[in-house]
Amino acid sequence: MIKLVKPDINNLAIFGGQPLFNESLHVGRPNIGDRNLLNKRFNEILDNKWLTNDGPFVQEFERRIEKYLGIKHCIAVCNATIGLELTIRALNLTGEVIVPSFTFIATAHALKWQEINPVFCDIDPKTHNIDPEKVEDLITPFTRGIVGVHVWGRPCAMEALIDIARKQQLKLVFDAAHAFGCSHNGTMIGNFGDAEVFSFHATKFLNTFEGGAIVTNNNDLAAKIRLMKNFGFSGYDNVIHIGTNGKMNEFSAAMGLTGLDNIQQFIQKNYENYHNYQNNLGGIPGIQLIKYNEVEKCNYQYIVLDIDEELTHVSRDVILEILHKENILARRYFFPGCHNMEPYKSLYPQAFKQLPETEKLTKKVLILPTGTSMNGKDIGSVCELIGFIVKNGNQIKKKLQ
């Protein structure tokens, strides 16, 4: 006889039952490559006594990324937020920049930190990415650029955005924090717009603890960003530009190199997990797993559910609460949307009126754990639990009232 994850609703942890998992399952559990190789690299750093400032591992990491992406320039940085700030500043952006509100707050903050006004644009509900048709309506005489975000690693509507930027003479930057290892029409993400910025934060499938990279095919822009990420130094005692400290350190680069050695395994594991979720969630009413274009390269690092409450009878937030009590730490990225967070909420109190799709989506999506820490059995149990919640949705709702 098959043992059910929860035989009846009284066994749910939210109603006092034992949690399904003894240890928490996390959405952003870091992937760690070959530890022996990593330790060897760490020891080499300690032996060399060269810890940061454009050391050999950072240089090797940059060259490996350039080769992997088929791009001219990679500049490793201490995190993607600083990477975005450097890029935006190096491109001389001022005034207004059009950006989605459905993104991690860093995208908006990178602009506002430099006194640039983020103008929030609604998304296309089919792709969760900035809607190019709505971008055009937001252009004013003060607009200087567009920052697109490849949400979940699914590329923005590239051709349309490139076309608008060219016609309107706007700079085009992509926040590619989610999209390392993804492609668009066979070209790796990183090669589009004026520059693209990746995040290698611990929660990303390829991580350098904290870290990021700016990539571009523009020689002048790359040279300028290289200066700016190192206080504007051009050789000893010679500062020729305003700058900041955006440098990646050697330990981060060693972690990144070890991750790159194992990147195919990470992607393969994410791919298997994705299909495992797809097989197990199929047929649960109101639960849709978002799709990836399998013809393209993709990192499959986000398992994203689109929840239709009309069919599940329980809201996304109730499902989230139940899962958390069972030690499944699902997330509702990017709730409640940048426009509903400070300082933007006070600056643009009416913004929600222009962002109906963003408002809807932030209430519907739920992100589930994946990566090398997840196995097929756990994924099966998570999906069975979700099926159980939906099947008993009305009863659960009543009991929670």
Task: Give SS3 for 133.
Answer: helix
81: number of CA atoms within 13 Å, CB side?
12
User: What would the two tokens of residue 265 be?
Assistant: 């395994």
What is the smallest separation between the CB atom of 387 and ligand T4K, expressed in angstroms? 23
Task: Give SS3 for 239.
Answer: strand
* # chain residues binding ligand T4K, by CB under 6 A: 23
What is the smallest separation between the CB atom of 282 and ligand T4K, expressed in angstroms? 26
Name the residue nearer to ligand T4K (CB basis): 45 or 106: 106
What is the smallest separation between the CB atom of 290 and ligand T4K, expressed in angstroms? 16
Is 29 one of the binding residues for ligand T4K (CB under 6 A)?
A: yes
Q: How far apart are CA 274 and CA 386, in angstroms?
A: 16
Q: How many CB atoms lie within 10 A of CB 29?
A: 17
Q: How far apart are CA 305 and CA 323, in angstroms?
A: 13
Q: How far apart are CA 390 and CA 75, in angstroms?
A: 47
Task: State how far the alpha carbon of 15 is from the alpha carbons of 5, 9, 273, 400, in Å.
Answer: 15, 8, 29, 9
Name the residue nearer to ligand T4K (CB basis): 107 or 273: 107
Element (H, E) at 132: helix 132-138
Q: How many CB atoms lie within 10 A of CB 340?
A: 17
Segment interacting with ligand T4K, rule: CB under 6 A, options 161-169, 180-188, 197-205, 250-258: 197-205
What is the smallest separation between the CB atom of 116 and ligand T4K, expressed in angstroms? 16
Is 27 one of the binding residues for ligand T4K (CB under 6 A)?
A: yes
What is the smallest separation between the CB atom of 212 and ligand T4K, expressed in angstroms? 5
**At how many degrees (to 10) do helices 263-281 and 376-391 cross?**
30
Segment interacting with ligand T4K, rule: CB under 6 A, options 139-147, 195-203, 213-221, 249-257: 195-203
Q: What is the DSSP string of 171-236?
A: EEEEE-TT-TT-EETTEETTSSSSEEEEE--TTSSS--SS-EEEEES-HHHHHHHHHHTBTTB-ST
Name the residue nearer to ligand T4K (CB basis): 284 or 379: 379
Is 79 one of the binding residues for ligand T4K (CB under 6 A)?
A: yes
Work out which of 81, 252, 276, 312 binds ligand T4K, going by CB under 6 A.
Answer: 81
Is 337 one of the binding residues for ligand T4K (CB under 6 A)?
A: no
Query: Euclidean distance between the first and final Cα of the chain, in Å?
Result: 34
Contact code string over 147-186 relative to ligand T4K, x by CB under 6 A = --x-------------------------x-xx--------
**Most distant pair of Cα atoms in the chain: their distance:** 75
Name the residue nearer to ligand T4K (CB basis): 228 or 390: 228
Contact code string over 102-121 relative to ligand T4K, x by CB under 6 A = -xx-xx--------------
Name the residue nearer to ligand T4K (CB basis): 102 or 390: 102
Segment interacting with ligand T4K, rule: CB under 6 A, options 26-34, 44-52, 236-244, 378-386: 26-34
Is 202 one of the binding residues for ligand T4K (CB under 6 A)?
A: yes
Q: Which residues bind ligand T4K (CB under 6 A)?
A: 26-30, 79-81, 103-104, 106-107, 149, 175, 177-178, 199, 201-203, 212, 329, 333
